[in-house]
Amino acid sequence: MAASDLVNLSALLDDAQCFALVRQHRWPEGARCPVCDSGAVIRDGHDDTQPYRQRYRCKACSGRFDDLTGTVLAGHHQPLRVWVLCLYFMGLNLSNRQIALELGLDASDVQAMTEQLRRGLVAKAPEVELKGEVEIDEVYVVAGHKGQPAAVAKRGGSDVVAGWQARRAAARWRRTSHPFSA
């Protein structure tokens, strides 16, 4: 497919569908507050410049947020539909280079986008980073190794590394398999 065909494909996606898709994947069971994780949220109008971007107010902490708050899609210079298409192509296992070709973007831009999407849609949100099992596992393994080199050597360093790699692989699987989930 040539880049010129893709312009048409991109035009077929409307913003309403894109935002609905983000909501569906981010909050399959209804919107939750990104600050306190409460499900007691009420709709609170729409974004001033993006009419399909739903705003919410949290009844628990009075926080305000919208569909993209705390996601990698917020405040990015690429339109939402480009991100959605990028995600779609990632699902088809296209390489960064192929995606760049299809979207008419620089390969470096696409690489940054796919890396962000693989880390998860809401990877930028601090409370999600705190829950990240990968980081916690890595810190734990490194700290254990530093603090108890003898114990690590006794147990066999390769076992520790193997376990660590297995956890990393599992975490990577979770991230890449569920790009929209936290």
70 or 179: CB nearest Zn ion:
70
Which range of residues in 60-68, 92-100, 101-109, 174-182 is near Zn ion by CB under 5 A?
A: 60-68
Which residues have a Cβ under 8 Å from the Cβ of 142 and sit 6 or more positions away?
A: none
Which range of residues in 10-18, 26-34, 133-141, 161-169 is near Zn ion by CB under 5 A?
A: 26-34
CA–CA distance, 58 with 33 (Å, rounded to integer)? 6
Q: Is 58 in the site for Zn ion (CB under 5 A)?
A: yes
Q: Which among 156, 159, 164, 171 has a CA at the least distance from the CA of 139?
A: 164
Which range of residues in 28-36, 49-57, 111-119, 126-134 is near Zn ion by CB under 5 A?
A: 28-36
38 or 78: CB nearest Zn ion:
38
Which residues have a Cβ under 8 Å from the Cβ of 85 and sit 6 or more positions away?
A: 6, 9, 10, 13, 102, 103
The CA–CA distances, whole Å, from 181 to 23, 27, 131 equal 10, 8, 13
- Count of residues engaged in binding Zn ion, rule: CB under 5 A: 8
Tokens 């009075």 locate to: 62
Tokens 């699987």 locate to: 173
- Report whether 38 contacts 58 (CB < 8 A): yes
Q: Is 61 in the site for Zn ion (CB under 5 A)?
A: yes
43 or 118: CB nearest Zn ion:
43
Q: Is 94 in the site for Zn ion (CB under 5 A)?
A: no
Among 20, 63, 112, 181, binds Zn ion (CB under 5 A): 63
CB of 130 to Zn ion, least distance (A): 16
Q: Which residues bind Zn ion (CB under 5 A)?
A: 33, 35-36, 38, 58, 60-61, 63
